[in-house]
Structure 1
Amino acid sequence: MAGSTDTAGAPADRLGRLRATALSVYAGLFYAVLYLPILLLVVLSFNDSQSIGLPFKGVTLRWFEEVLGSSAMRTSIANSVLLGIASSVIATVLALMLALGFRNDFAFKNLLMKVVLLPILVPGIVGGVIYLVFFGYAELPFGVWSTALPVHITWVLPFAFLTLFPRVHGLDRSLEEAAADLGARPWVTFRRVTFPLIKPGVVATTMFAFTLSFDEFIRTLFSIGNERTVPVHLWSLLSDQMAPFLPAVGVVIMAISMMVSLAGFALSARADRRPR
């Protein structure tokens, strides 16, 4: 009987090992496709060569010096950072107000929620053309603050709402009701009860919204006019020439986005650990 059990268990063991091997190969291919291009970009940004590509001819930092030493690049970075801060803060505040409002029942609630999420469903190039036509008819001067800012807020807002709404919806409203019973006004209840509970989500949402705004290209291209953000400036460099410092530009963009994301995760985790 023991021999027959071992014989029956052998195919199952082989099948399990085969499945584990297949999953390992799949995971390896997945991570290779995901991260090897990023690794190649980083390697090429240090390549001491006048052309973009291999072979690797040596290590140099001159491409980063050229990128950071360019006044046009510094201006585009400043535009992207300031635009990202403004649009993320405004969009997060609006999303928080919407999330708090959607806790209550009112007429056309489902329709309004679909309207809030509509920008996600509109393709970027279609949205860009719509903004271009609208601002043209409105005779608004194209620029970072006049046209690109409302475009970025419109683009970031639904993502901020989707991030915040579950957190706000899951709040225990009895805590707010208890504060109201003790005489706290609505603003005091929000400031001292509601906001501390959702603060980690608000911080994470703001950082996430910043990265969305910082990396946005298509809608920005149609709405920013002659000014430049980092993605638009990179596109203009690509359209003019394949300069050898372009990988360094990509690394700078990626580094800023990663630092903001890591800072958001750290602040959110710290706020979660803080005793209430």
Structure 2
Amino acid sequence: MTAPISARTGTTMMRRKVRKSSDRPWTFYVLASFFALYVIALYGPMISIYILSFQDVQGGLVFPMRGVSLYWFNELIMQTRAGDVSGAFSRSMYLAVSVTVITVVVSFMAGMAFRRRFRGDTIVFYLMIASLVAPGLVLGIGIGLGFNMLGIETSWYTSALGAQLSWTLPFGILVMFAVMSRLNNDWEEAARDLGASRAQTIILVILPILAPGLIAVALFGFTLSYDEFARTLQTAGPLNTLPLEIWSMTLNVTSPSLYALGTVSTVVSFIIIGVSLGSIVMLQRRSAARLNNAK
């Protein structure tokens, strides 16, 4: 008797699954089709650029491909027909790292300061995020004109740095506010009860707890700076950053070396994102292991 009953039960469950899949409304299929078209439209051009960057020397900017090689990547290194790609890449990296460090430090200090109310805190908060309202190109033009009026030459490490900080700092501060909202004051009080000073409490208690959030702020600041174009266009001075170099290559270079540069830039971005996310996962696992050992 057991075998027939189990067979009937299995048949009934299969019928229910078929009914559930067939009873889906037509809107489900419309939304699924729309999402598939959205993914194709979003990633299709990017994938095409990555594939075309591996064209042979006879290849062009469109399909069909004429051979497969790393010729155009070698063109970027040798800079025979491309621009100052290596210099622009190094400047973008230096600038992004500087912006990241300043964004993390200032965002952490702002998050610590705004944990308690003080007179004029609302005005200070809105002044910090006011630059998000202004268009990036207009803000960059204003900073460039301000430097010229003061007789200071614009460059990627002065005026461009300030222009990008006007973009990264508000985002970093907003992320840090969300992170700080989950910080329990009891942990600080416990550290003080054990004799820790203010500096020891910050270094040994607060920073380890907020480390994943600080990494998120750093990732935010780096990616925004590394890819920034509008605020850098009028403030970088005579030397281009990587986004400006890519833009200038679209005006002068008509070869797959432009696609190769886009592929390299994307790979670098994914590596940085992967390292950041891996660091967050490692910190979370280490915290979980410490809690298990403490128990």
Give, as a single letter, the amino acid of the residue that structure 1 aligns with 2:62.
Answer: G
**Bigger mean CA offset, 230-239 vs 13-22:** 13-22
Residue 33 (str. 1) matches residue 45 (str. 2): no
Query: Alignment partner for residue 159 of structure 1, among 162, 166, 171?
Result: 171
Alignment-derived partner of residue 174 in structure 1 = 186
Change beyond 3 A, Cα 1:99–1:19? same
Query: Alignment partner for residue 124 of structure 2, among 102, 112, 119?
Result: 112
Contact 2:139 2:163 in 1 (8 A): no
**Bigger mean CA offset, 30-39 vs 44-53:** 44-53
Query: Alignment partner for residue 58 of structure 1, among 55, 67, 90?
Result: 67
Q: How does 1:166-205 map to 2 (within 5 A)?
A: 166-205=178-217
Contact 2:103 2:217 in 1 (8 A): no
Query: Alignment partner for residue 89 of structure 1, among 87, 96, 101?
Result: 101
Residue 100 (str. 1) matches residue 112 (str. 2): yes
Q: State the Cα distance separating 1:133 from its structure 2 match.
A: 1.0
State TM-score, norm by structure 1: 0.90
Contact 2:59 2:66 in 1 (8 A): no
State TM-score, norm by structure 2: 0.85
Contact 1:132 1:223 in 2 (8 A): yes
Alignment-derived partner of residue 249 in structure 2 = 237
Counterpart-to-counterpart distance in 2, 1:222 and 1:233: 13
Q: State the Cα distance separating 1:150 from its structure 2 match.
A: 1.9
Alignment-derived partner of residue 67 in structure 1 = 76
Q: State the Cα distance separating 1:33 from its structure 2 match.
A: 1.3
Counterpart-to-counterpart distance in 1, 2:111 and 2:72: 45
Change beyond 3 A, Cα 1:193–1:12? closer
Alignment-derived partner of residue 92 in structure 2 = 80
| Number of residue pairs aligned between Structure 1 and Structure 2 | 267
Query: Alignment partner for residue 247 of structure 1, among 259, 265, 269?
Result: 259
Query: Alignment partner for residue 161 of structure 2, among 136, 149, 170?
Result: 149
In structure 2, runs of 5+ residues without a counterpart are: 1-17, 291-295
Alignment-derived partner of residue 16 in structure 1 = 24
Counterpart-to-counterpart distance in 1, 2:220 and 2:77: 25
Contact 2:54 2:72 in 1 (8 A): yes
Q: State the Cα distance separating 1:13 from its structure 2 match.
A: 6.8
* Identical amino acids, percent of aligned pairs: 29
Give, as a single letter, the amino acid of the residue that structure 2 aligns with 1:173.
Answer: N
**Bigger mean CA offset, 17-26 vs 131-140:** 17-26
Change beyond 3 A, Cα 1:219–1:13? closer
Q: How does 1:213-232 map to 2 (within 5 A)?
A: 213-232=225-244
Q: State the Cα distance separating 1:22 from its structure 2 match.
A: 2.3
Q: If you compute each CA radius of gyration, which structure gives the higher value, 1 or 2?
A: 2
Q: State the Cα distance separating 1:61 from its structure 2 match.
A: 0.8
Give, as a single letter, the amino acid of the residue that structure 2 aligns with 1:47.
Answer: Q
Contact 1:140 1:147 in 2 (8 A): no
Q: State the Cα distance separating 1:266 from its structure 2 match.
A: 0.7
Post-superposition Cα deviations, 1:27-78, rounded to whole Å, max 9, x if no partner, equal: 2112111111110110111123453112222212111111122282111111
* 3-state DSSP of counterpart to 2:202: helix
**Bigger mean CA offset, 68-77 vs 82-91:** 68-77
Post-superposition Cα deviations, 1:59-116, rounded to whole Å, max 9, x if no partner, equal: 1211111112228211111111111111101111101100111111011212211111
Alignment-derived partner of residue 52 in structure 2 = 44
Contact 1:208 1:261 in 2 (8 A): no
Give, as a single letter, the amino acid of the residue that structure 1 aligns with 2:247.
Answer: W
Q: State the Cα distance separating 1:170 from its structure 2 match.
A: 1.4
* 3-state DSSP of counterpart to 2:234: helix
Contact 2:144 2:159 in 1 (8 A): no
Counterpart-to-counterpart distance in 1, 2:269 and 2:192: 41
Counterpart-to-counterpart distance in 2, 1:233 and 1:241: 11
